[in-house]
């Protein structure tokens, strides 16, 4: 009989298979339907995240929040001194299966020191970080202390009176509440965000007084218009809400929408700086400063000298040092448009209602909370009723005994065995076992007249209390009255003024107008060369400068004295126009070449700038003269756009090569010269204006074959000795050959 090969042992004691051994099924690939795999493996996980982790319920809490707060409540932290956060985290792990880091992070967000919530539930001591700063991290749990805040008492009122259901914790060693019996709509009072699988929730916070008042009015009148008392959200960090009634109504009705929030700032004239003290809840100080720095480096914010993060004991502050002459309000309007100093808060009021995620409007949420709270109050009343009935039952048995104390004493004294005392009392006075047990436990010192009278009076009060509690259970109106009184009490104890004030969207300037006015205004001279170089020089620098430095073979094409807020139109050889602002370019000196426009404005390969037009309001006309003798008169307003478009195609006709572009605000004369030497004085009033940018224009100068229009010059009185020689009554015209006195007196633009 053949011997079996021995099984080898590995160094760690795991059996090794022989070299020629085979594993059944190894290498086989089993195909599965993807829908079955998702249903079996992924769906349970997705449901767990939705139901037990990421989506808040009608009490306003996710399970992690609820477990932590209930642990603190059971630790007696509603009153007394704070305890180390590490103690709280450790105790919470009996209910929360997650690690200590996740539990502590949950606690940090609910703490007063972190400033994440409008009404924090944790009264903290130590460094809990700041919600508005990404760099300010919270200290470890062993260094901080905490207890429950005053408003947290409203979360647990009568929780020991069977107001909510309790379930086993994860290892079935403790009970924990499924919901907290909150006495106010905390689901709307404190913001909450969660990302589940396939869905998310983002609930903004509202002012406590406004929420409670709205709930009270809805309970009295189901058709109440909630916008009368609930104006808008109220964020923990303040800010200014740009109020749009239509958008707000959409959020109130559907639970989805967007709210614009902008920062709050003050201007310190003595220091010439802006102090930002409140920012939107969706951003951080570091993100704002980083965006500003990016814009400054890109040359888009030339008004800022320095930006500093000055968060301190007084709270949030971003300081912006300004350059001299900068208007702070106009600069801030520009920053609102280009940085997170103004941001949008996206609302998604997704809440678990009876285990089902639902996106609800504000009114529906308040109605669901009211129904939940009414059930809590009924359960509390029923608990009190059963307790009162039980006590009344005991006292009624006591009353029968007290009518003949001597008989009761005699029964007890004459009973041989202790176990027979209760049965004998039951027989002697016609009471049940519970009553007899209660009587048998009465101390001898209580068998006096005072005790008997007090117990008798208590019976009467209990009977009245039982009747009242039974009436409450039968009347929904009585239950609503209790809730209303509790809401008023919460408002009185914990209400606070709004932190986020409202500004109306209709009062704000349009973003484009803001950008136009944002740049500082000062005089400057603009230079544009035939090779496409551009310079912007201030008068002071120009006075101190010498000769303009130009590239070899280049020449100045345009010199315009203007201001820094002008619009610039650069026309290219391909028939397009690029738009820019004078403020987009830095101040320079005559001793440098300047900015090369094709590179500065990102033109295509082979595309060059052939002329520049300067305007502030797009008034007047542009005249385009072509080699074929045609001229086009186009309204400059045709180049104005409502959006910040940088490039317009088809800026002028490409049917014939361009000779000159002239900008006029009123009609005047131009001197046209052809390659044949003929000259024509053209009055632009004879040309009809067009709104089409790429119009071919009209024939103004007749040309012989092989001849073209050579130059165009704005006419002045000293240019010609006999100007009538070159004028004509009708167009087109061939013009006249120059007189001897006029030869060589004209200076061409090209």
Tokens of 447: 């068998």
Tokens of 240: 């200014």
> DSSP per residue over 403-472, as a string?
TTHHHHHHHHHH-SSGGGHHHHHHHHHT--HHHHHHHHT--GGG-SHHHHHHHHHHHHHHHHHHHHHHHH
CA distance 511 to 508: 9
Look at the block and give the residue holding tokens 């006419």.
715
CA distance 465 to 387: 11
CA distances from 120 to 84, 108, 128, 152 (A): 18, 10, 12, 8
Q: In 3D, which of 105, 176, 170, 180 has the Cα closest to residue 144?
A: 105
Bond from prior residue into 732 cis (ω within 30 degrees of 0): yes
**Residues labelled as active-site residues:** 143
CA distance 716 to 671: 9
Give the strand order in the sheet containing 609-615: 609-615, 567-572, 577-581, 647-648
Count each helix (H run) and each strand (E run) in the chain, helices first: 19, 35
Give the strand order in the sheet containing 709-714: 679-683, 669-674, 709-714
Q: Is 118 helix (H, G, I), strand (E, B) or coil?
A: coil
CA distance 358 to 53: 15
Q: 584 CB contacts (<8 Å, ≥6 apart)? A: 299, 300
Burial of 488 (0-12, 13-18, 19+ CB in 10 A): middle
What angle do the packed helices 476-494 and 362-402 form, to 10 degrees?
110
């Amino acid at each position: 009989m053949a011997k079996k090969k021995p099984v080898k042992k590995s160094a760690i004691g795991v059996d090794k298979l022989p070299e020629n051994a085979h594993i059944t099924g190894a290498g086989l690939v089993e195909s599965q339907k993807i829908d079955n795999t998702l249903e079996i493996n992924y769906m349970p996980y997705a449901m767990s995240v939705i139901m037990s982790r990421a989506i808040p319920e009608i009490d306003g809490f996710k399970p992690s929040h609820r477990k932590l707060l209930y642990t603190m409540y059971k630790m007696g932290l509603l009153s007394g001194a704070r305890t180390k956060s590490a103690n709280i985290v450790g105790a919470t792990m009996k209910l929360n299966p997650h690690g200590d880091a996740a539990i502590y992070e949950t606690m940090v967000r609910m703490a007063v020191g972190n400033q994440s919530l409008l009404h924090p539930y944790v009264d903290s001591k130590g460094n809990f970080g700041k919600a508005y700063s990404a760099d300010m991290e919270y200290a470890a749990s062993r260094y901080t202390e905490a207890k429950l805040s005053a408003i947290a008492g409203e979360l647990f009122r009568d929780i020991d009176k069977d107001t909510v259901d309790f379930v086993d914790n994860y290892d079935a060693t403790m009970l924990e509440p499924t919901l907290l019996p909150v006495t106010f709509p905390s689901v709307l009072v404190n913001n909450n965000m969660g990302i589940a699988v396939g869905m998310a929730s983002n609930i903004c916070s509202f002012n406590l007084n406004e929420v409670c008042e709205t709930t009270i009015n809805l309970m009295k009148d189901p058709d109440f218009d909630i916008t009368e008392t609930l104006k808008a959200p109220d964020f923990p960090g303040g800010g200014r809400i740009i109020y749009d009634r239509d958008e707000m109504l959409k959020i109130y009705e559907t639970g989805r929408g967007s709210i614009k929030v902008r920062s709050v700032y003050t201007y310190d004239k003595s220091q010439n700086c802006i102090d930002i003290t409140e920012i939107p809840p969706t951003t951080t100080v570091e993100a704002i400063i980083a965006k500003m720095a990016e814009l400054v480096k890109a040359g888009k914010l030339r008004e800022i000298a320095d930006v500093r993060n000055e968060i301190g004991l007084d709270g949030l502050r971003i300081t912006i040092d300004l350059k001299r002459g900068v208007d702070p309000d106009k600069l801030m309007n520009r920053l609102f448009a280009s940085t997170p100093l103004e941001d949008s808060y996206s609302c998604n009021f997704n809440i678990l209602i009876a285990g089902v995620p639902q996106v609800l409007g504000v009114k529906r949420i308040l109605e669901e909370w009211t129904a939940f709270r009414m059930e809590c109050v009924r359960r509390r009343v029923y608990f009190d009723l059963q307790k009162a009935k039980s006590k009344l039952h005991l006292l009624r048995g006591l009353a029968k005994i007290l009518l003949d104390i001597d008989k009761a004493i005699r029964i007890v004294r004459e009973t041989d065995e202790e176990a027979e005392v209760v049965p004998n009392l039951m027989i002697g006075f016609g009471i049940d076992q519970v009553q007899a047990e209660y009587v048998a436990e009465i101390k001898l010192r209580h068998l006096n007249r005072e005790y008997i009278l007090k117990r008798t009076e208590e019976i009467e009060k209990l009977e009245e209390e039982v009747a009242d509690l039974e009436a409450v259970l039968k009347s929904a109106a009585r239950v609503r009255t209790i809730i209303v009184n509790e809401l008023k009490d919460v408002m009185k104890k914990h209400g606070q003024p709004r932190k986020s004030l409202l500004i109306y969207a209709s009062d704000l300037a349009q973003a484009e107008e803001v950008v136009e006015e944002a740049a500082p205004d000062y005089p400057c001279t603009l230079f544009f060369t035939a090779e496409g170089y551009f310079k912007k020089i201030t008068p002071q620098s120009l006075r101190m400068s010498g000769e303009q430095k130009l590239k070899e073979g280049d020449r100045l094409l345009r010199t315009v004295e203007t201001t820094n807020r002008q619009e610039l139109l650069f026309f290219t050889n391909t028939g397009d126009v690029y738009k820019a602002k004078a403020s987009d370019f830095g101040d320079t000196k005559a001793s440098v070449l300047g900015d090369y426009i094709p590179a500065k404005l990102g033109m295509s390969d082979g595309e060059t700038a052939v002329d520049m037009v300067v305007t502030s309001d797009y008034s007047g006309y542009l005249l385009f003269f072509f080699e074929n003798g045609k001229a086009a008169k186009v309204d400059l307003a045709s180049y104005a756009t409502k959006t910040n478009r940088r490039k317009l195609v088809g800026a002028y006709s490409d049917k014939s090569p361009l000779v000159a572009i002239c900008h006029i605000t009123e009609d005047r004369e131009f001197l046209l010269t052809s390659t044949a030497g003929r000259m024509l004085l053209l009055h632009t009033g004879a040309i009809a204006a067009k709104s089409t940018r790429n119009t071919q224009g009209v024939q103004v100068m007749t040309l012989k074959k092989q001849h073209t229009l050579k130059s165009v010059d704005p006419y002045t009185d000293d240019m010609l000795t006999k100007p009538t020689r070159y004028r004509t009554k009708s167009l087109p015209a061939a013009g006249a050959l120059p007189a001897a006195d006029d030869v060589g007196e004209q200076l061409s633009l090209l």
